[in-house]
């Protein structure tokens, strides 16, 4: 029971961290699928902004049953300045309604209003607003390089301040309407990426393959979130390998604990076994009784472990543990919110119970072996 509780708690915590990282990154940054210029992934520059023409629109219409919605973006670097401070920031041109549907930015507004389509104002991330010491109604000077070397410059009033959950984005992001961004970067009808959100996220790979088969691969590239977040996924796999090493050690301890319990039970019941044999009980029947006893005890413990772990994991699922100190700084350095979330994925519960139960099943074969090898008469006592 305690083994299942510990395993469920540990894996829920780790899986929750991974899910939070992926969900936040997909939600605020990459989306599930992106269509880009074929050169943009290698060199993310405005010079490789893709043309959002009728061919791309027809492609979206062809797969409209599998696509929930699409989110057009222009995203590039620019210098943002106030009277006293200048800082490099990421300027993101968005279609407000579509972007809000994906990342729910309007729900994270801490001050002011969210931008509307065609708006000339900007929404600044809360961290960046604090660095620049600006508020609602202040004006920002933006200076950058547009499409094919065009000068990008303009004055933009701050319409709202948003709290982004990714600290890295929260300290560097400015949102403006897509039309304003296309004008700012002199990139009419162009996007740096077109985000595709599937109706069924579990079929992301199938949708990406379909889009890739129909699109002009000479000019466009279709990427899934796994491809765009390859470094993050590799880091997770490496971390998970370390977790499995620790869990294997835990399972070994569990196995020896169960084996010790079974062995003690057999030693204490030798007289009982001799009595049962003398009364005519078959060895196969006694072996079956011992086997099902150990299986029943383990099954009861596994179920009890799941039932006791569930409310604890559920509580922390809704109330993630906030991190402080050095660990929080490390998490922030990786660009994620400094909390320890938990996962409620069903496989976390039944997988650990199955593993522990399987170990107990194997250990339960030992009393079967001992029953068939059990000597009813102790030869040493007879000689004495």
Q: Which of 42-46, 201-205, 239-243 shows the lowest mean pLDDT across its residues?
A: 239-243
Q: Cβ atoms within 10 A of the Cβ of 373, count?
A: 8
Q: What is the DSSP letter of 34?
A: E
Instruction: Answer yes or no: is pLDDT of 330 > 70.
Output: no
- Separation between Cα atoms, residue 119 and residue 114, nearest integer Å: 10
- Separation between Cα atoms, residue 357 and residue 303, nearest integer Å: 10
Sign of CA pseudo-dihedral 237, 242, 248, 251: negative
**What is the DSSP pairing of strand 173-177 with strand 86-94?**
parallel
Which of 175, 215, 225 minimizes the C-alpha distance to 73?
A: 175
| Domain locations along the chain | 2-17+232-383, 39-216
Phi/psi at 124 (5° precision): -110, 140
- Separation between Cα atoms, residue 244 and residue 7, nearest integer Å: 11
Q: Judge contact between 35 and 173, C-beta under 8 A.
A: no
What confidence category does residue 151 fall into, taking pLDDT thresholds of 50, 70 and 90? confident
Comparison of pLDDT for 155 and 354, the residue scoring more:
155
- Separation between Cα atoms, residue 269 and residue 49, nearest integer Å: 78
Instruction: Give the pLDDT confidence score for residue 382 in this predicted structure.
Output: 46
C-alpha dihedral (148, 150, 156, 158), degrees to nearest 10:
30
Instruction: Give the pLDDT confidence score for residue 136 in this predicted structure.
Output: 93
Instruction: Give the pLDDT confidence score for residue 257 in this predicted structure.
Output: 80
- Separation between Cα atoms, residue 207 and residue 217, nearest integer Å: 16
Q: Judge contact between 359 and 299, C-beta under 8 A.
A: no
pLDDT digits (tens, 9 = 90+) for 275-315: 888 888 888 888 888 888 877 887 888 888 889 999 989 99
Average pLDDT, the chain: 84
Which of 282, 274, 280, 287 minimizes the C-alpha distance to 381?
A: 274
């Amino acid at each position: 029971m305690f083994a299942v509780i510990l395993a469920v708690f540990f894996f829920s915590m780790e899986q929750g961290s991974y899910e939070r990282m992926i969900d936040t990154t997909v939600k605020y940054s990459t989306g599930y699928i992106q269509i880009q210029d074929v050169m943009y992934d290698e060199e993310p520059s405005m010079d490789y902004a893709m043309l959002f023409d009728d061919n791309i629109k027809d492609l979206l219409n062809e797969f409209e049953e599998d696509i929930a919605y699409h989110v057009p973006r222009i995203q590039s670097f620019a210098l943002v300045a106030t009277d006293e401070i200048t800082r490099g920031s990421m300027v993101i041109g968005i279609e407000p309604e579509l972007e809000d549907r994906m990342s729910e930015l309007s729900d994270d507004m801490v001050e002011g209003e969210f931008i509307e389509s065609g708006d000339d104002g900007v929404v600044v991330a809360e961290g960046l607003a604090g660095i620049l010491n600006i508020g609602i109604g202040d004006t920002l000077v933006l200076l950058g390089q547009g499409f094919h070397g065009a000068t990008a410059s303009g004055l933009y009033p701050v319409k709202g301040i948003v709290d982004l959950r990714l600290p890295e984005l929260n300290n560097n992001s400015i949102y403006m309407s897509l039309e304003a961004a296309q004008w700012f970067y002199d990139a009419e009808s162009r996007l740096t990426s077109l985000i595709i959100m599937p109706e069924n996220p579990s079929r992301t790979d199938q949708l990406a393959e379909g889009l890739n088969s129909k699109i002009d691969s000479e000019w466009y590239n279709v990427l899934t979130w796994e491809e765009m977040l390859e470094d993050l996924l590799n880091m997770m796999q490496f971390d998970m390998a370390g977790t499995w090493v620790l869990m294997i050690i835990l399972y070994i301890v569990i196995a020896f604990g169960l084996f010790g319990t079974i062995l003690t039970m057999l030693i204490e019941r030798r007289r009982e076994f001799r009595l049962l044999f003398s009364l005519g009980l078959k060895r196969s029947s006694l072996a079956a009784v011992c086997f099902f006893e150990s299986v029943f005890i383990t099954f009861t413990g596994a179920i009890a472990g799941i039932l006791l772990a569930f409310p604890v994991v559920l509580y922390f699922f809704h109330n993630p543990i906030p991190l402080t100190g050095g660990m929080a700084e490390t998490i922030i350095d990786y660009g994620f919110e400094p909390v320890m979330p938990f996962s409620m994925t069903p496989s976390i519960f039944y997988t650990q119970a199955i593993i522990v139960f399987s170990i107990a099943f194997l250990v339960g074969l030992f009393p079967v072996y001992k029953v068939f090898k059990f000597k009813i008469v102790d030869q040493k006592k007879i000689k004495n």
